[in-house]
Amino acid sequence: MENQGNVAGENNGSGIFDGALPTRVLIYENGQWNDVPLPVLMLVRDHFQAKIADVEILSDEGHFILDLSRLTIVNCKTGESMPMGWIDEIGQGLFPPFP
Q: Is the dihedral of CA 88, 17, 85, 39 positive or negative?
A: negative
d(CA 98, CA 31): 12
- 20-91 has which fold? 3.30.720
Amino acid at 69: S
The pLDDT of residue 58? 94
d(CA 77, CA 23): 28
The pLDDT of residue 8? 46
Pairing of strands 6-7, 93-95: parallel
Do the beta carbons of residue 70 and residue 77 sit within 8 Å? no
The pLDDT of residue 18? 87
pLDDT in tens, the chain (99 residues): 333 444 444 433 348 888 899 999 999 999 999 999 999 999 999 999 999 999 999 989 899 999 999 999 999 999 999 999 999 999 999 999 875
